[in-house]
Amino acid sequence: MKKSIALLVLSLFTATAALAAEGKVVSVADGAAVVDMGSDVKFKSGANVKLNGKTGKVIAVDGAKLTIKGSSAAGLKAGETVKVDRAAASMQGC
């Protein structure tokens, strides 16, 4: 039983870590940041993400660049390295 729980926890951690990526901010305007992810683009337009740990939403994907809108985007500067993660699914009511 303990082995199966540990395996489950490890699988969830691995799946979450696989979707985390770093990128460089190209530009910031109107509450959205354009982030160059290199070859690590694993997000689609409309995906909920975390940009440096704060919620955001991918509003456009152009090759290796993501445009992410969120409250933390305005505080970023071009050239800065940021971490982009998949946001946890929100809980829905009954």
- The per-residue pLDDT of the chain, averaged, comes to 82
Distances (CA, A) of 22 to 44, 57, 82, 94: 16, 16, 6, 36
pLDDT at 19: 59
- Whether residue 55 lies inside any domain: the answer is yes
- Whether residue 8 lies inside any domain: the answer is no
Split into its structural domains, the chain has a count of 1
CATH number at residue 25: 2.40.30.20
- Whether residue 93 lies inside any domain: the answer is no
* Triad 39, 60, 73: Cα angle to 5°: 90
Expressed as residue numbers, the domain containing 22 is 16-86
Condensed to tens digits (0 to 9), the pLDDT of residues 9-44 reads: 666 655 555 457 889 999 999 889 999 988 867 888
